[in-house]
Chains A and B, each alone.
Chain A
Amino acid sequence: MKGPGVVMVLAAKDLRLLSRDKVAFFFTFVFPLLFGVLFGAVFSGAAGGDGPKAIAVAIADLDQSEDARQVMELFLGDERLRALVAQNAQEAHDLVRTGDAEAYILIPQGFGSAARMPFGGTPMSLDIGSGPSGRATRGLLTGIATQKLYQHLQSTMLDPTRAGEMLRQARQTLGAIEDLPATRRIALLGLMNAAENAVATMPTADADQTPGGAGVGAGAGAGFEIVRIAQVDVSAGGVGDNPQVLTISAFAITFPQAVLWAVMGCAAGFGVSLVGERTGGTMTRLRVAPIGRWHIVLGKALACLLTTVAVSTVLLLVAWLVFGVRPVAPFMLVLAVLALALCFVGVMMLLAVVGKTEAAASGIGWACLLTLAMIGGGAIPLAFMPPWLREVGHVSPVKWGILAIEGGLWRGLSPTEMLLPIGLLLAIGATCFTIGAAVFARRESR
């Protein structure tokens, strides 16, 4: 059999193995899809939709804390709701019973303390109730309420004093978990340090960043920002020369991130599987077969490349067909996906040589990938990061990957503008691949 045939046989085997590995499948496909859909829904409030009729809801604040008051205001300011303020649970209940309200929302006691300790184990919660016919309403309300809580969390996170306090608590919680693997502990502590530094450089909440102040409480400006981003109108072409105005939905933000999570999942999965060939002994058979060592590397690379491209394509198609995120520059998007895939094939190769066992490779690999994702805007949009962290993010292929995908999806970057992210992706990929493959070849020639 000729070289290309061998590589394809090897890759086909890996794809088959992947299809039977539930964990890998989850990380390469299910999780990214959930990420794209759920966060997109939360950001854009899609769960509530913009139905014509406002829902009448009774709201009672049983906590009377500052946080409860802020969340209450968020509800009062939502035009999808017609809020009736109740004094206590009984009154809220009665309003629903008499049909004055379709449902009720209770801000329970302890809400404020939970809000102050988002990592403390007790999540912020709301009680939502409706009559027997109000099931659908309750679902809708749950979506809106989740969005409000998220908004509130965002705003508190961006308040330096509160963010600092939360991080301290998170650190304590982290310290209390005993059976946390060391690599993950270190990675989390590292993230936390980075976050603390970020908090230290954060502007105070009432600085001039509140856009328009659209009826939201103090400190919620940044929380509102997410919603604003989700609905911003951006011209795909240059200013003025393109009359076509495009509405960017939140999904246009979350799906590129989802693609990156998928691509990272692929890189980690195949990297670990290459380590597994060694620990599982099958590497012996591969090496005894009448094929070259490069075939083994290329087979793994091809499987990774194909999976990455396939998963990215599916995610972007879902974004387009289900959520209406239509790419403004399809050809650029294809280039971006290819460059991204090639880049992470390189990353995969590097991950394949960092650990001697599958557990070590996966632990170290994910620690690196999560860090790259955090600083590269894969979890929190770069816009919310302090300037210095954005600078650090330049080294992350995640950042350039998101930029490249967004470039084809909605930013409408020109070929010259695309040159930078695509070039950097290819360069990072080539570097990682060269190092990884060289280490691999050396290890396997003893």
Chain B
Amino acid sequence: MLRLSDVRKRFGKTIAVDGLSLHVHAGEVMGLLGPNGAGKTTTIGMAVGLLRPDSGSVSLGHEPGLVGSPDHPRVRTLVGVAPQEVALYDALTARENLAFFGRLHGLSRREARARARELLASVGLGDRAHHRLHGFSGGMKRRLNLACALVARPRLVLLDEPTAGVDPQSRHAIFEIVANLKAQGVTILFSTHYMEEAARLCDRVAIVDHGRLLALGTVDELVSAHGGPSVVAIRREGQADATRIETATPLEEVARAIGSAGPAIAELRIEKPDLEAVFLHLTGREHRQ
């Protein structure tokens, strides 16, 4: 559905993307995880033809005759993008925004209007259809920004940090939308900083930093390959602090503790490594700009 082959992009002295290869399969949800400045936005930009790679190639599409470089308008007919920054006309109403972009994607006036109504309802903005964006909150704009990417029923959707800076309610609504798309078999690539989000929704996760792909796989694969050992924490009666045991086989460790003699167990916890551990392990703990 989307294939990036060894793409590179530099801005002046900054190397934003440095020989990245990625293949997103049809129907798959892939998360693009990386710290600030890792090159996520640049990657998405190249994937949809907004930026021209300095080298390497991009190909997208899954129907015969619609495969090729995103430089060709026709290839982009099946693509929807929600940019990182909200990109809408403030002076237009919510519905006008959606209908306009629908028209650009080839919908008739009637279709565009109907689709706008449908999408507004699905992002919980049905009652704001005729309001201009001036008065919208950040979360409302974000939801509309996402809806705008879906206006032409794309088969491939790229979402650049769709949940940045929204409240838990809005974030939840956005999760739902992505889950719905996934159920409809839409291919999705989305970038994020939120690990739980990635873990929950993504079939596979790509971790990038400094414009390079550091790891790629399912969450479980990544955790077992890069997460490090699990930790079993046991505190017995009379102990102030728990004893922490690093182990690859936590259940066996627990069984052993229960079977062993000594004061009764007051508290027992298994800490499994998660995506965050993988992320920090791969990208380091130091701050980014």
Q: Residues on A close to B: CB < 8 A? A: 1, 6, 9-10, 13, 16-17, 20-21, 280-292, 445-446
Interface segment out of the listed B86-94, B186-194, B202-210, B245-253: B86-94
A291 to B106 CA separation, bound complex (whole angstroms): 9
Residues of B49-101 at the interface with A, using a CB-CB cut-off of 8 Å, are 49-52, 73-77, 79, 81, 83, 85-92, 96, 100-101
Mark interface residues in B37-50 (1 if CB within 8 Å of A CB, else 0). Answer: 00000000000111
Among B49, B51, B76, B106, the residue within 8 A (CB) of A1 is: B106
A282 near B105 with CB under 8 A, answer no
B87 near A282 with CB under 8 A, answer yes
Among A284, A291, A445, A446, the residue within 8 A (CB) of B104 is: A291
Total residue contacts A-B, CB cutoff 8 A: 69
Among B49, B79, B83, B132, the residue within 8 A (CB) of A281 is: B83
Kindly list 14 other residue pairs between chains A and B, CB separation below 8 angstroms, not including A1-B104, A290-B76, A446-B51: A6-B104, A10-B104, A16-B96, A17-B91, A280-B90, A281-B87, A285-B83, A285-B148, A287-B49, A288-B49, A288-B50, A288-B76, A289-B105, A290-B75
Query: Does B3 reach chain A (CB closer than 8 Å)?
Result: no
Query: Does B103 reach chain A (CB closer than 8 Å)?
Result: yes
Number of interface residues of B (CB under 8 A): 30
Q: Which of A6, A13, A280 has the most chain B CB atoms inside 10 A of its CB?
A: A13
A282 to B85 CA separation, bound complex (whole angstroms): 10
Q: Residues on B close to A: CB < 8 A? A: 48-52, 73-77, 79, 81, 83, 85-92, 96, 100-101, 103-106, 132, 148
Chain A residue at minimum C-beta to C-beta distance from B11? A446
B83 near A289 with CB under 8 A, answer no
Contact A289:B89 (CB < 8 A) given known A9-B100, A9-B104? no
Contact A17:B89 (CB < 8 A) given known A286-B104, A288-B48, A292-B73? yes
15 A–B contacts, CB within 8 A, in A order? A1-B104, A6-B104, A13-B89, A21-B91, A280-B90, A281-B88, A282-B87, A284-B50, A285-B81, A285-B83, A288-B48, A288-B49, A289-B101, A289-B105, A290-B77
Contact A289:B76 (CB < 8 A) given known A10-B104, A13-B100? yes
Q: How far is the CB of A26 from chain B (nearest CB, A)?
A: 15
A286 to B74 CA separation, bound complex (whole angstroms): 14
A1 to B77 CA separation, bound complex (whole angstroms): 11
Chain B residue at minimum C-beta to C-beta distance from A292? B73
Residues of A within 8 A of B91 (CB): 17, 20-21
Chain B residue at minimum C-beta to C-beta distance from A20? B91
B73 near A290 with CB under 8 A, answer yes
Chain B residue at minimum C-beta to C-beta distance from A10? B104
